[in-house]
Structure 1
Amino acid sequence: MADLWQNAMDHAVAAARRAGQVVREALQDDRKVMTKSSSVDLVTQTDQKVEQLIIQSVREKFPKHRFIGEESVAAGEPCVLTDGPTWIIDPIDGTTNFVHAFPFVAVSIGFSVNKQMEFGVVYSCLEDKMYTAKRGKGAFCNGEPLQVSNQEDIKQSIIATEFGSSRDPEAVDKIFSSLRNILCIPVHGVRGAGTAAINMCLVASGCVEAYYEIGIHVWDVAAGSLIVSEAGGVLMDVEGGEVDLMSRRVVAANSRTIGERIVKQIDSFSPPRDDASSL
């Protein structure tokens, strides 16, 4: 099976590069913008085009594999992670960035077997950075090994987060409560690339010490989660337990020490899970 998964990973890297080219070309054209759950939850024809490009190419090569794709789920497909080989795809992670030509846009492809991530590929299209990880084999950016930061003092750290697409006042209050708590530790700063996948790759690269978010989806973090762990980082739930990628809550940190300090500051809540019951 190892050879099969390597073949699948090679295919994912090639598909991500092709998708990245589509994204870069689309930035030169008018981008037709639509909305999903709210006026700030955006989708474009390029999101849909890229997802179909990836799924079609995978189906031709691996016809028995399953898929969880952001746009497929938005169109009504079930979001269920089974034990079968499953491709978890975010065709454009950072759609709002894409719409505004803000230069952090990623294609994210994770691959799971028996509900365990086997490889992850995140392609930062405009930076031309290809992040990859295979279970037990380390994490890389453009072929160079990644290693998380060795900083153990949260007061000397940068933390990444995002504000999500919900504008419900109660959710926004919790987001800002957590942000205030973390800023007042105090930390060196808080950053956000506008894409969960790239934020997680920044943790893996040692650029930031931790990333946390509530409200993300499995396709946002599936690939990035393995890249973080293979770079020596840790993954946790926002309440400190084991992470569940279907729960829409994650803390990714360079160490358990930093991760646990983040957990203590988060004003947590539970959005609907990424599974069939939430659709």
Structure 2
Amino acid sequence: MNNDLNIALKAARKGVETIKSYQSKALNTREKGNHDLVTDADLETEKNILAFIREHCPDDEILAEETEAHEKMSDAKTWIVDPIDGTTNFAHDFPVYCVSVALWENKKPKVGVVIEVTRNEEFTAVAGEGAWLNGEKISVSNTSNARDAFIGTGFPYNDLSVVESYLKLFRHLMEELQGIRRPGAATFDLCCVASGRFDGFFEYSLHAWDVAAAALIVKEAGGVITDWKGGDGWLFGQRIIAGNPEIHQLLLDRVEEFIPIEQREAVV
């Protein structure tokens, strides 16, 4: 196994162990922002993941949601960690929630690991080598017809600046597509694109730790990742579209049709 992937996978599994140790406990929960929860499980999980990474990669940089959050990255090897993506789901004992660990270098993704805790699903990818689910190779769907397309999305919760345009887009897609789902964890949504469960996905108000690992998994599974203008500003730009090539293009076209250009700009 690729050594960096091995470290990422073991670090993520440490996170899963920590999360499961909290599943039968009363959680201490607070809001760190508008409708944005953090629990003691998030903090403990991140601490354990980062401790493992620092033990094995002491010279690498870290970007992590709860304690090392920032919106920039150097060319150095950088581990990007989301200890619990889907904290609100977790706090309400509602699936889905994930651990996400990525390694980037020279501002490019090298390794991605996402583990969906409740289903024990391990999604992994290495740049140039493909993507896997529990050791089995995965690929995006071949759906090309809008009427057959099944997609995921996320509902805005702390940034409502685009919500009116988003709802117009959402209404149109409800009529045009076969179905839309909102599991509540962008890492899982993206992995569902990678494994062909979803044909596409779009969301805004996301951060680097939400997408850094799962976007690589999508790309290595044959999918396309862009921001809302079709560019590459998705890591820090807080706007992302993913999908197989045909459904990605359809979603990009619909975003262009329903979202004003100033609201499609990546946040940089």
Regarding TM over 0.5, the answer is: yes
Quote the residue 2:113 is aligned against. Answer: 121
1:175 Cα deviation after fit: 2.2
Aligned residue type for 2:76? G
Aligned match for 1:222, one of 206, 212, 215: 212
Aligned match for 2:28, one of 12, 29, 32: 32
Do the aligned partners of 1:160 and 1:190 also contact (CA within 8 Å) in 2? yes
Partner secondary structure for residue 71 of structure 1: coil
Do the aligned partners of 1:214 and 1:271 also contact (CA within 8 Å) in 2? no
Supply the RMSD in Å over aligned alpha carbons: 1.7
Correspondences of 1:55-204 after superposition (within 5 Å): 55-73=50-68, 77-166=69-158, 168=160, 170-184=161-175, 186-204=176-194
Correspondences of 1:191-270 after superposition (within 5 Å): 191-255=181-245, 257-266=246-255, 267=259, 269=263
Aligned residue type for 1:130? E
CA distance in 1, matches of 2:17, 2:94: 16
Partner secondary structure for residue 109 of structure 1: strand
Do the aligned partners of 1:51 and 1:71 also contact (CA within 8 Å) in 2? yes
Alignment deviations for residues 176-234 of structure 1 (CA, whole Å, 9 cap, x no partner): 122112222x1001012110000000001101100101111010000000000111111
Aligned residue type for 1:91? P
Which has the higher mean CA deviation after the structures are superposed, 138-147 or 51-60?
51-60
Do the aligned partners of 1:209 and 1:258 also contact (CA within 8 Å) in 2? yes
Aligned residue type for 2:196? G
Alignment deviations for residues 44-68 of structure 1 (CA, whole Å, 9 cap, x no partner): 1111111111111111111110011
Aligned residue type for 1:258? I
**Which aligned segments of 4 or more residues in structure 1 are displaced greater than 4 angstroms?**
none
Do the aligned partners of 2:228 and 2:252 also contact (CA within 8 Å) in 1? yes
The reply on whether 1:20 has 2:16 as its aligned counterpart is yes
1:270 Cα deviation after fit: 5.4
CA distance in 1, matches of 2:109, 2:164: 33
CA distance in 1, matches of 2:186, 2:10: 21
Aligned residue type for 2:19? V
CA distance in 2, matches of 1:64, 1:175: 42
CA distance in 1, matches of 2:192, 2:147: 18
Do the aligned partners of 1:21 and 1:125 also contact (CA within 8 Å) in 2? no
Aligned match for 1:11, one of 1, 4, 7: 7
Aligned residues: 263
CA distance in 2, matches of 1:58, 1:23: 17
Partner secondary structure for residue 16 of structure 1: helix
CA distance in 2, matches of 1:225, 1:41: 22
Partner secondary structure for residue 67 of structure 2: helix
Could you tell me which runs of 5 or more consecutive residues in structure 2 were left unpaired when the two chains were aligned: none
1:243 Cα deviation after fit: 4.3
Partner secondary structure for residue 29 of structure 1: coil
Alignment deviations for residues 227-264 of structure 1 (CA, whole Å, 9 cap, x no partner): 00111111122122334311111101011x21121112
Partner secondary structure for residue 73 of structure 2: coil
% of aligned pairs identical?
34
1:42 Cα deviation after fit: 0.6
Do the aligned partners of 2:228 and 2:266 also contact (CA within 8 Å) in 1? no
Aligned residue type for 2:209? W
Aligned residue type for 1:89? V
Quote the residue 1:277 is aligned against. Answer: none
Do the aligned partners of 1:120 and 1:134 also contact (CA within 8 Å) in 2? yes
